[in-house]
Amino acid sequence: MDWTLEVAFLPVSDVDRAKEFYTRIGFNPDHDQSPTDDIRFVQMTPPGSNCSIAFGKGIVDGGPPNPGTLMLCVSDINVARKQLIDVGVEASEVDEQAWGHFVYFDDPDGNHWNVQYLPYRYQG
């Protein structure tokens, strides 16, 4: 039996603002449903990912920011950083470590993201 991680839940203070932010950085808006007045469920997936994020109204206990960090993995850290900067996201400079290269950014609610590039995966 496989156990797959397919959705990570994020606390947000403004669902529409969060949806606009994640759409702007390239996430696909998979679902946006309100089965009741007290619940709104938004699910979005980064391009090429099998794992989505979900946020909304009445689905996450506690407020933002998420106490943890989420990580996106990319094949070119410089292209990823440029894409973030080009759509107005404040992204860090590339942090080059011996084990990988990283860019950091926060969403409008302060949820922290790492973007990871592992050179050994992409060098021939």
Read off the pTM.
Answer: 0.86
Our CA angle for 72, 74, 79, nearest 5°, is: 115
Domains of the chain as residue ranges with CATH: 7-122 (3.10.180.10)
The pLDDT tens digits for 10-64 are 999 999 999 999 999 999 999 999 999 999 999 999 999 999 999 999 998 888 8
What is residue 124's predicted lDDT score, i.e. its pLDDT? Answer: 56
Task: For residue range 94-115, list pLDDT tens digits in order.
Answer: 999 988 999 999 999 999 999 9
Q: What is the DSSP letter of 110?
A: -
